[in-house]
C-alpha cells in the first residue's frame, strides 16, 4: 500500500459544501444517499420500476457489499476518494463496490428533465470550446456508451490539465481509479449496465442512450465541473500521473527505507539509477499545479545531491555518511511529493 500515504485530500475537502465532494470524503460505514427525486420523476425516459430497482436494489447492494468487505479490516479508515484513487491496491470486491457506490451517487445527481444545456454556464462554455457543441459531445457519449462491450459507463470528465474529455470504463471503474487508462474527475456519467435499461428498452442500449442524453441535469453537471476544476482530487491525480515523479519515487523508496533499517546495499547498487531518475525528473514536464519556484528548486537540489551521492558511492563512503546524505535527499524529495504516512 505504498501509495496510500497521501493525506493532502481530506482537510481541504471540508472547503466544499457540494454533494459530490461530501460523498467523496465519506468513510466506513457508507450510506445509501437519498434519491433526489421520486422514482417516476424521469418518466418516460426512465420508468419508475427501473428507477426503483436500480436505486433500492442495485445501488443499495453496492453500499451493503462495500461495508461488508471493509468491516473489521484496516481499510475501514479510507475515504471513498482514496478507495477509488488506489483501487488497484485493494481487493477486487472493494474496488467494484466502492465504484458502484460512487458512480450511482453521481448518476442520480446528474439526471433531471428540467435543466437543459446552457451555453452560458461554465461547463457550457467549456463543452463548446472543446467539442464544438453539445450535440457533438452527445455523439461522443453515445459512441462511448454503445461501443463499451458488456457492462460499464460512459463519462464526461475533467483531465489533470483541466480539459474536458470523454471515455468509457468497464464494470464499475471510473476515471478517478488508478486502474483506469483515462484519469480525471467525472462530471457526468451514464450507466450502460443492462440493469439501467432492460425493463423498458430490452436489448436496445442505443435507444436508451439516445433517451437518457435528453435527461441530463446540466445545472448539476455545471456544479460538478466547477468543483472538479479546483478539486484536491484532481491535483492528486495530476501528481499520480506524473510519470517521472513516480519513477523517482520508486528508486527513493527502494533505497531510503532499507537505509533507515541500516541496509545501505540498495543505494550502493542503485546510486547511478537514482541520479538518472532525478535527471529525468528535471528534464521532464512538470504538471501545471506543481510548476512552482519552490518545486523547481527542490528538483534541482535533488539532481545536485544525487550526483554527490553517486560520487560518494564510487569513493566507497561509509554507511553512516551515505545514510545521512540519503536522508537529506529524502527530505528534499518530500517538498515535492508531499507528506507521507507509513
Ligand atoms: Mn447501475
pLDDT at 18 exceeding the cut of 50? no
Number of domains in the chain: 2
Q: What SS3 class is residue 167?
A: strand
CATH of the domain at 119: 3.55.40.20
Q: Which domain holds residue 324?
A: 242-337
User: In angstroms, what is the span from residue 288 Cα to ligand 1's centroid?
Assistant: 35
Which pLDDT belongs to residue 20?
56
**For residue 235, how far is its CA from the centre of ligand 1 (angstroms)?**
28
Q: pLDDT of 251-274, one tens digit each?
A: 999 999 999 999 999 999 999 999
Per-residue model confidence as pLDDT tens digits over 161-197: 999 999 999 999 999 999 999 999 999 999 999 999 9
In terms of domains, do 187 and 309 share one?
no
Please tell me the pTM assigned to this model: 0.85
Contact 16, 232 (CB under 8 A): no
Mark which of 210, 239, 268 sits at the end of a domain: 239
Are 46 and 165 within one domain?
yes
pLDDT at residue 4 above 80? no
* Residue 219 to residue 201: CA distance in whole angstroms: 27
pLDDT at position 153 is 98
Residue with cell 537540489: 301
Residue 107 has pLDDT above 60, yes or no: yes
Report which DSSP code applies to 190.
Answer: E
Q: Report the C-alpha gap between 300 and 304 in whole angstroms.
A: 6
Would you tell me the crossing angle of helices 265-283 and 319-337 to the nearest 10 degrees? Answer: 30
Residues contacting 283, CB < 8 A, separation 6+: 244
Radius of gyration (C-alpha) of the chain in whole angstroms:
23
- Give residue 21's pLDDT: 55
Measured CA distances, 174 to 185, 288, 298 (Å): 9, 23, 33
- Asked whether residue 149 falls in the same domain as residue 77, the answer is yes
Q: In this predicted structure, what is the pLDDT of residue 340?
A: 44
Determine the distance separating the centroid of ligand 1 and the alpha carbon of 190, expressed in angstroms.
Answer: 9
User: Above pLDDT 90, what percent of the chain?
Assistant: 88
Interval 35-47 mean pLDDT? 97
- Asked whether the predicted pLDDT for residue 3 surpasses 50, the reply is no
What's the CA-to-centroid distance between 266 and ligand 1, angstroms? 48
Residue 279 CB: number of other CB atoms within 10 A? 17
54 alpha carbon – ligand 1 mean position (Å)? 6
Are 197 and 290 in a shared domain? no
Strands ordered across the beta sheet of 152-158: 164-170, 152-158, 185-191
Give me ligand 1 centre to Cα 238, in Å.
Answer: 28
Structure-model confidence comparison of residues 1 and 231, the more confident one: 231
The reported pLDDT for the residue numbered 335 is: 87
In this structure, are 280 and 329 located in the same domain? yes
Cα 58 to averaged position of ligand 1 atoms, centre (Å): 7
pLDDT higher than threshold 60 for residue 16: no
Domain boundary among 192, 210, 239: 239
Q: Which of 239, 270, 288 is the last residue of a domain?
A: 239
pLDDT for residue 26 is more than 90: no
Q: 21 C-alpha to center of ligand 1: Å?
A: 21
Residue 231 CA to residue 234 CA, distance in Å, equals 5
In the block, which residue shows the cell 462495500? 66
What is the DSSP annotation of 230-261? Answer: T-HHHHHHHHHT-HHHHHHHHHHHHHHHHHHT
What tens digit of pLDDT does each residue of 56-93 get?
A: 999 999 999 999 999 999 999 999 999 999 999 999 99
Per-residue pLDDT reduced to its tens digit, 113-135: 999 999 999 999 999 999 999 99
Q: What is the pLDDT of residue 341?
A: 33
In tens, the pLDDT along 279-337 reads 999 999 999 889 999 999 999 999 999 999 999 999 999 999 999 999 999 999 998 87
Dihedral, 330, 333, 334, 337 alpha carbons, nearest 10 = -140
All residues at 6 or more sequence positions from 143 whose CB lies less than 8 Å from its CB, including other chains: none
Is the preceding omega at residue 29 within 30 degrees of 0, hence cis?
Answer: yes
CA of 196 to the centre of ligand 1 (A): 5
CATH of the domain at 293: 1.20.120
Instruction: Quote the pLDDT of residue 337.
Output: 79
In terms of domains, do 288 and 203 share one? no
pLDDT of the residue at 11 = 35
Amino acid at each position: 500500500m505504498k501509495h496510500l500515504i497521501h493525506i493532502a485530500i481530506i482537510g481541504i475537502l471540508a472547503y466544499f459544501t457540494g454533494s459530490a465532494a461530501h460523498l467523496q470524503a465519506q468513510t466506513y460505514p457508507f450510506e445509501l444517499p437519498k434519491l433526489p427525486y421520486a422514482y417516476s420523476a424521469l418518466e418516460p425516459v426512465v420508468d419508475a420500476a427501473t428507477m426503483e430497482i436500480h436505486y433500492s436494489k442495485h445501488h443499495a447492494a453496492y453500499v451493503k457489499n462495500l461495508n461488508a468487505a471493509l468491516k473489521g479490516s484496516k481499510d475501514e479508515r479510507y475515504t471513498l476518494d482514496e478507495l477509488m484513487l488506489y483501487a488497484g491496491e485493494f481487493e477486487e470486491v472493494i474496488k467494484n463496490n466502492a465504484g458502484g457506490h460512487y458512480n450511482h451517487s453521481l448518476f442520480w445527481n446528474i439526471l433531471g428533465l428540467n435543466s437543459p444545456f446552457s451555453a452560458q454556464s461554465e461547463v457550457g462554455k467549456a463543452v463548446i470550446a472543446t467539442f464544438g457543441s453539445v450535440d457533438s459531445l452527445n455523439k461522443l457519449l453515445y459512441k462511448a456508451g454503445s461501443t463499451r462491450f458488456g457492462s460499464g459507463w460512459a463519462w464526461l470528465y475533467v483531465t489533470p490539465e483541466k480539459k474536458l474529455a470523454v471515455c468509457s470504463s468497464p464494470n464499475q471503474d471510473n476515471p478517478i481509479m488508478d486502474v483506469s487508462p483515462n484519469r480525471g474527475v467525472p462530471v457526468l456519467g451514464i450507466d450502460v449496465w443492462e440493469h439501467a435499461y432492460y425493463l423498458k428498452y430490452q436489448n436496445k442500449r442505443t435507444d436508451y442512450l439516445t433517451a437518457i442524453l435528453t435527461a441530463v441535469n446540466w445545472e448539476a453537471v455545471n456544479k460538478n465541473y466547477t468543483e472538479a476544476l479546483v478539486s484536491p482530487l484532481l491535483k492528486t491525480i495530476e501528481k499520480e500521473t506524473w510519470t517521472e515523479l513516480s519513477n523517482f519515487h520508486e528508486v527513493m523508496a527502494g533505497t531510503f527505507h532499507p537505509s533507515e533499517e541500516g541496509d545501505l546495499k540498495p543505494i550502493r547498487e542503485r546510486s547511478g539509477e537514482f541520479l538518472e531518475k532525478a535527471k529525468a525528473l528535471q528534464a521532464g514536464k512538470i504538471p501545471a499545479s506543481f510548476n512552482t519556484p519552490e518545486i523547481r528548486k527542490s528538483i534541482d537540489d535533488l539532481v545536485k545531491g544525487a550526483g554527490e551521492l553517486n560520487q560518494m558511492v564510487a569513493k566507497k563512503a561509509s554507511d553512516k555518511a551515505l545514510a545521512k546524505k540519503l536522508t537529506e535527499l529524502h527530505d528534499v524529495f518530500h517538498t515535492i511529493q508531499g507528506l507521507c504516512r507509513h
